[in-house]
Amino acid sequence: MKNKLLVLIAAILFFISNPNPIFHNGLGFLGFFIYLPILLCVHRANLKNIFIDGGLYGALSYGIYAYWLFAYEPLGLLIVCVCYFFIMMAVFAGLKVIDVLFEKNGWIVQLFFICGYEYLKTLGFFGMGYGVTAYTQWKFLQLIQISQIVGVFGLNLIVIFPSAFLYCLMIKDCVRGKNTYIVGSIWCILFLLSIFYGNQKIKHTHFDNYVKIAAIQNNEDPRKNGISEYTKNVRQLISLSDEALELNPDIDIIVWPETAVTPSIIYQYYSRKDARRFDLISYLLKYIDSKDAVFVIGNSHEVDTKKAFRDRYNSAFVFEPKANVIPPNPEIYSKIHLVPFSEDFPMKKYFPTLYEKFLNGEPQMWEKGTKYKVFTKKGLSFSTPICFEDTFSEGCRQMVLNGSRCFLNLSNDSWSKSIACQKQHLAMAVFRSVENRVPSVRSTSSGQTCVIDVNGKIIVEIPAFCCLYTSALVPIIDSCYKATLFTKFGDIAGIFEVLLTVVILIIQLIRTIIKKNE
């Protein structure tokens, strides 16, 4: 029974330390202690119960953390809970094996094991950054600057360490010696040095040249179908853009959210098969061409390949008035990292019924883009990660390596009907700016629309679920940009944590086998 209580406490710590419905920004300081009850539970459990304890924690923690998935598709939340039931069964079992194998300093191996697991969980088709412990610190600007050097998974080691260290101090049969306290002292020094480093980076941030960017939040759900809804949406976006331009005629770039315009701009303009859709697209293009600002617009881009359905891409179009608007010939980026099951279902041939369930009223899912695009307009080089693409370090890093010096993120989290969901997304987006030291502008359907500086500070933010716009000066850093160590080398901290854990476990297993055979 005590173990089940520890599982419950761990799940609550996980939930509250991250953005949630009660504390919208999360209680980040609790992130330092998430794994303490888990390690205590693992130490107390026997091999028979460890799998149940792990499974319960996985299902419960992600069930309440990602509760907002229910609003989109209850089956999606069920799948996440089931997946993490089995994932955390394996994690708890791994922690228990380490607990048994190591007579002393096992807590250090468990620390690296946890960090390695959190890195691995972000990889592959099913990978996602939601729930990585370091993201709980998104408001601790001085501390998170260290991710410019070691990335979010290097910071993870600093954030998770207190859980492992306190666990070592609390259990009676942990062998503690001078080395234990030396390791604790090293963490204290690294923690203080990280804050000092962060203070210095923030203090000495200065830029000379800027562009003014407006981000539009129309508080509409583009998933609503029908030409009347599409027309209402476009007119609302145009009205907000006009308001922004009237008060700020010097705006250089206007950003609309993900799939802000649902009818395919290029296909509808050239095919002219639907008069009302063509009229709407023509109206939109004439409006854009009459302005001086560059428009970055999310569009459901369709390409006719003479198949049963046209290929659909979740795309960002960049229009420059008097250059590529009429006829429409925008520069295009199409989303590469698609959301599993919601936007991409690679097993549809084998599970057609399940595929139909996940279509959620759409005729098909998205096709993948092929290249991380960099646009250069008004002196600013930028990329347009779409929706949850800015929750992944590697994709945004590749954009910067390709020459991007600003992220213009187009998102639609309106389906979640949850500020917690939108804040969780924002917490991860903050790290993409810090890791690469480039600013971000986020234009979302319902939240969180904002501007983030190179230090992860939110300069301006629109309240969720309201119809507004915001504008801010964004630095042009092309000529003075110096790549961070993270940008150069990527998530080597995460890779190191995985490899070190594997090597230590192999060595210890060999030692154990040799001892038994002596």
Tokens of 122: 């972000």
Phi and psi (nearest 5°) for 295?
-110, 130
Active-site entry in 41, 81, 220, 258: 258
Distances (CA, A) of 467 to 203, 217, 221, 244, 470: 34, 6, 12, 12, 11
Residue whose C-alpha is closest to residue 141's, from 202, 65, 217, 223: 202
Q: Which of 335, 373, 377, 423 is catalytic?
A: 335
Calpha distance 429→440 (Å, rounded): 8
Within 10 angstroms of residue 365's Cβ, the number of other Cβ atoms is 20
Active-site annotation holds for 331:
no
Q: 389 an active-site residue?
A: no
Distance CA 404, CA 414 (A): 27
- Chain mean position to CA 46: 36
Residue 208: half-sphere exposure toward Cβ, Cα within 13 Å: 4
Instruction: Please give the biggest Cα pair distance in the chain.
Output: 85
Instruction: Give the type of residue at 205.
Output: T
Which residue, among 432, 340, 383, 421, has the nearest Cα to 134 in the 3D structure?
Answer: 432
Contacts made by residues 273-277, CB under 8 angstroms, sequence distance 24+: 274/227, 276/227, 276/231, 277/227, 277/230
Instruction: Say which of 41, 168, 387, 406 is annotated catalytic.
Output: 387
Coil vs helix vs strand at 483: coil
How far, in Å, CA of 202 to CA of 143, rounded? Answer: 11
Catalytic status, residue 335? yes
User: For residue 69, which of 428, 253, 340 has the smallest C-alpha distance?
Assistant: 340
In the block, which residue shows the tokens 């607990």?
Answer: 99
Distance of CA 254 to the CA centre of its chain: 23
Neighbour tally for 392: CB within 10 Å:
19
Active-site positions read: 258, 335, 387
